[in-house]
Amino acid sequence: MKTPGLIIPRPARQRSAALTSNEIGVYVPLEALFPGTEVSEATMQELLQPFGRDALLVACARLNAIVGGTGKPDTLARQQRAIGMICGADDLRRINEFARTRPPGDVPVVFFRGQLLELMRWVARFCAPTNGIESFDESAKSRLLKAALIASKFWSDRVFADRFSATLPVDEARERALGAFRRGLEESMIAPYLGTTLGRGWSLFSEHFPRHYPDFEPEFVKATGLTVEQYFTCVTGLALYLPFDSPTGSLFDASTVADATAYRKKFEAYMASESQTPEELAVTLWDGLAERGYRDLRERPILRLANGRAIILDPVFFSEKISVGPLFHLLPGGNANKIFGAFGKAFEDYANGILRRMYPDRPGLASRLRCGVEARDSEGRDFEIDAVLDYVPQAVVFEQKAAWLRDEVVLGDIEVWIEQIRSRYGISSVQMGGKKERPKGVAQLAQIVRRIIDRNGGAAQPIFEEVSVIHPVLLVHDTRLNAPAYGTFLDAEFRRLFGSVPKDKRVMPMVIMTIDDLENLESSVAEFGMQQLLADYAAAQPEGLVSLHNFMVHDERYAEKVKVSAQLVADARRLIQLAQRELFPNSPDLDWDEAN
């Protein structure tokens, strides 16, 4: 008899497949399914010790691929698939009983990324390498479900703890929760759309970064034994295991990839630098976690087993390797400031390339877009506007930043975290080496808009001669700035640094736009104007509590109009065809829709 599925009603309208924010609402608590179970390390040890370590790590990774892999952000479909894999009939009955207590359309979440990463930590600590449960009957599945729900509580206590306050003034309460908001978003998100991830990574490291860091290719070969093309061929081949509904999951036989081809040794070199053994993982997930966070898992997100099999442990970390991984292979032997500086310039080139494709010059018409506008104000200070969109009497002013926040400290002292945000995106109050740090991000944006408003823009001022409304946009590489309240915090920083606005001018709330957002807009602006989108967002979210990304996801005026970048998808398709030819020459041609 077939086990019935999860009976939670499907919400009336699903979000756009082009967007990947996964806003999780209701977690299934341990007490709802297993009342009276103690949440403790001792209980976790008792539940996990009978299992074989490697088999259980693979099970956790397979679940993680389902809830966090690429594909439609359909929470119901993902939960049904994960529950079907690991829950027996009795467990399913209890889950459905809990689901009936929820309002219609709410999808209670049993499994999610943060929980499964936490569970992997305890599996690595408590499970024996061999001689444990390898196949899961209903009793074993129920033990694993119970352990996963205990891991949810461990995760929640670590991430949220006492970081939310109902007694502090609202602005202070939001600031206190900034770290928890960011970590909560990061560990509940799903992997981004495969086409844009591959296209972005290839564009950045085959074209833009080498232009600003000429030694990139030889240094990368020295560090990895691979050319950039060989690296992307290997990473693209494995990226095909990322879709959440892949029939084979994310487990593969590393010993047969590129077998009997010229890429065999190259793939072995790739695996040596991007994977780790279960023994190494046990150290990775415990030693120095408070100081390093998941940095070691980010750097090596593939688990390599003794039997030659391998599995992607986390699809989100693996996706990050596609778009920024080559950069971090250079750091051990290089000048970090020089490398990150070059990447910042490459990011500006990449973002402006997208804007130029969106707003191309047309013969006989005035150019709406200007990039890299250089000028000098009346005090003799040189400045640059990264990009301006002219919609007279409105203008959109972009400041572009590829800053890196040290996420290891996100859950520490909130003042340290806020100071780090200011040092990357504003003005730091800490002097480095006796010198005050230069303004960055919102501070630069505030200075530029102030010059425009004061008619102190030098050679750039004529652009704004008839402009009365300015939309300031901070365009960032860090997609986790989509977390709640970061727009509120950085807009407040912008306003504090900017000052007052003359009565005949209007400066709209500052908007955080991530590179994901810009990529999604590239093929979509034919449907609506950028300035209209920003105006509608400001009207709907004047405090910036909800990100621009999530506004586009949910607002009916935009959700169905947003499309993925046709240019990036074309680049990704070429990479997939190359990877298939070099790594899987005997397999049937891949259907691009399957790779999505």
pLDDT in the model for residue 46 = 96
Q: Name the pTM for this structure.
A: 0.90
Determine the pLDDT at residue 132. Answer: 62
Q: From the CB of residue 222, how many other CB atoms can be counted at a distance below 10 Å? A: 12
From the centroid of its chain, how far is CA 496? 29
DSSP conformation letters of 277-309: -HHHHHHHTTTTHHHHTTHHHHH--EEE-TTSE
Query: Where do the domains of the chain lie?
Result: 194-334+569-595, 359-564
* DSSP state string for 303-369: EE-TTSEEEES-HHHHHHHHHHHHHHHHGGGS-HHHHHHHHHHHHHHHHHHHHHHHS---TTS--SE
Tens digit of pLDDT at every position of the chain (596 positions):
333 344 433 333 333 333 233 344 578 999 999 999 999 999 999 999 999 999 999 999 999 999 999 998 888 899 999 999 989 889 999 999 998 888 887 888 999 999 999 999 999 999 988 766 667 888 999 999 999 999 999 999 989 888 887 788 888 889 999 999 999 888 888 998 888 899 999 999 999 999 999 999 999 999 999 999 999 999 998 988 888 888 777 888 998 888 778 889 999 999 999 999 999 999 989 887 777 788 899 999 999 999 899 999 999 999 999 889 999 999 887 789 999 999 999 999 999 999 999 999 887 777 899 999 999 999 999 999 999 999 989 999 999 999 989 888 888 899 999 999 999 999 876 654 556 678 899 999 999 999 999 999 999 999 999 999 999 999 999 999 999 999 999 999 999 999 999 988 999 999 999 999 999 999 888 888 899 999 999 999 998 889 999 999 889 999 888 888 888 888 888 888 888 888 877 665 545 454 44
Nearest to 113, CA basis, from 142, 151, 80: 151
CB atoms closer than 10 angstroms to residue 465: 9
Q: What is the CA radius of gyration of the chain?
A: 25
Q: First CA to last CA across the chain, in angstroms?
A: 33
Q: Cβ distance 267 to 233 under 8 Å? A: no
Residue 513 forms beta bridges with which residues? 475
**Rounded Cα gap, residues 379 and 381, in angstroms:** 6
CB 111 within 8 A of CB 148: yes
Q: How many residues does the chain have?
A: 596
pLDDT at site 163? 86
CB 487 within 8 A of CB 432: no
pLDDT, residue 7, reads: 40
Which segments of 74-193 does DSSP mark as H helices, in order? Answer: 75-86, 89-99, 113-126, 138-159, 170-176, 178-186
- Summarize the chain as % helix, strand, coil (round to 5): 50, 10, 35
pLDDT of residue 567: 87
314/188 Cα distance (integer angstroms): 12
Classify burial at 469, counting beta carbons within 10 Å of its beta carbon; exposed 0-12, middle 13-18, buried 19 or more.
Answer: middle
> Residue 566 has what pLDDT?
86
Angle between helices 442-453 and 486-498 (to 10 degrees): 40
